[in-house]
Amino acid sequence: MQVYLVGGAVRDQLLGHPYHEKDYVVVGATPEQMLAQGYQPVGKDFPVFLHPETKDEYALARTERKAGHGYHGFEFYTDPAVTLEQDLMRRDLTINAIAQDNNGNLYDPYNGQKDLEQRVLRHVSEAFAEDPLRVLRIARFAARYKKLGFKVADDTFRLMTQLAESGELEALTPERVWKETARALMEDHADEYFEVLRACGALKVLFPELDQLYGIPQRPEYHPEIDCGIHTMMSLQQACRANYSLDVRFAVLVHDLGKALTPQEELPRHIMHEERGIQPVTEVCERLRVPTNTKQLAIAVCKEHLKCHQALTLKPGTLWRLLQRLDVLRRPERVEAFVQACECDSRGRLGLEDRDYSQAQYVLDAMQVVRSIKAQDLPPDVQGSDIGEMLIERRIAALAELKAQHAALTI
């Protein structure tokens, strides 16, 4: 029985990139031998085991062949006779097909180290085209390693394009698409994930609402970059730059979907695009089974982001109602995330990337003001429905005072 460290841990170790998970492949062993040594079985489709102490994953060497449609359409074969080279051949990229033994010796039958040096994302074999999920994985790797200068190899890109055109992507489960997308959104250059998907034709299959933004013009005096798709990616870059949460990054990604629905005769203006965007944002979230909190923030940002941009000029009552809709009293963290997403939208414009966005602190100050006014602070003779009414009056009055203070400071 021979054990090798494989995949991401070897790749990132050679790149000097941080990694946390370790995966191992076991050559020359049977499931019975693994169980006898205390390994815990977890694999459903093929034998995968957890180490009894470290809980790292140990998979028996295996081969696979296409036997159906989509990501799950594979048959796996495990046997002690399966070699390390055979196991590595089924992997997606050459840089992921490098193994390391316990003595630190590297086994690289598909020249992954050369591709690491040349900063190339290249498929191991033509079997790459049998698994549609690999299109998303390659796009995610492109996002992760963009800062290191990695590019997708031309022949690999050709296979990705073929997969996008084949209809195979439509067989991917919503859970798999969301998992890969969520992971990609948390990379430093998440925008590259969507750019690669768009370039190979996969974006229009998996995210048609986003793909439709490209080529839609905006008023250049407000959006010097003009194109709605470019603006969306620039806004996402801002969210990555600030290291904001997944919820914020996704909300930024979909905040302007309504602009793709603007009637042709109204362009380049986008009147009511916030309201138009609610339906496509909702449809994307439901199709991908996006988590509830993520969905709720995305819809709120889509619907209300212009109100945040206008915060400094809003009447106190209007600002209070905005904060109410954001659930300010129960969910202050949502208000904070909302402000972050709106800030990214404002700065995701050509030449305005470092522009001051004083609306952010103003809305956060307003949140603190209204949250500081509580029922126990009211006169004891205020009872019943009068409590709610007086709380609203006092909160709006406090927002009026905040507005006056802010105006005095900016004179």
Mean pLDDT (whole number) for 373-386: 78
Strand pairing partners for 27? 2
Q: What is the DSSP string of 289-309?
A: T--HHHHHHHHHHHHHHHHHH
Q: Between these two residues, 146 and 74, which has the higher pLDDT value? A: 146
Q: How far apart are CA 170 and CA 293, in angstroms?
A: 26
- Evaluate if residue 74 carries a pLDDT over 70: no
Mean pLDDT (whole number) for 306-314: 97
- What was the pLDDT predicted at 65? 64
Residue ranges and CATH numbers for the domains of the chain are 1-116 (3.30.460.10)
- What was the pLDDT predicted at 194? 98
List all residues 6 or more positions away from 85 whose beta carbon is below 8 Å from its beta carbon.
107, 109
Span of 241-250, 351-360, 370-379 with lowest mean pLDDT: 370-379
Q: What is the pTM of this model?
A: 0.91
Q: How far apart are CA 219 and CA 231, in angstroms?
A: 12
Q: How far apart are CA 229 and CA 217, in angstroms?
A: 9
- What was the pLDDT predicted at 58? 93
Other C-beta atoms within 10 Å of 161: how many? 15
CA 354 to mean position of chain CA atoms: 23
- What was the pLDDT predicted at 195? 98
Q: How far apart are CA 198 and CA 200, in angstroms?
A: 6
Q: How far apart are CA 173 and CA 168, in angstroms?
A: 11
Which long-range CB contacts under 8 A does 303-308 form with residues at least 24 apart?
A: 303/274, 303/275, 303/277, 303/278, 304/274, 304/338, 305/255, 305/274, 305/341, 305/342, 305/345, 306/274, 308/338, 308/339, 308/342, 308/359, 308/363
pLDDT band, residue 26 (cuts 50/70/90): very high
Q: Are 210 and 260 in contact (CB under 8 A)?
A: no
pLDDT band, residue 411 (cuts 50/70/90): low
Mean predicted lDDT score pLDDT of the chain: 93
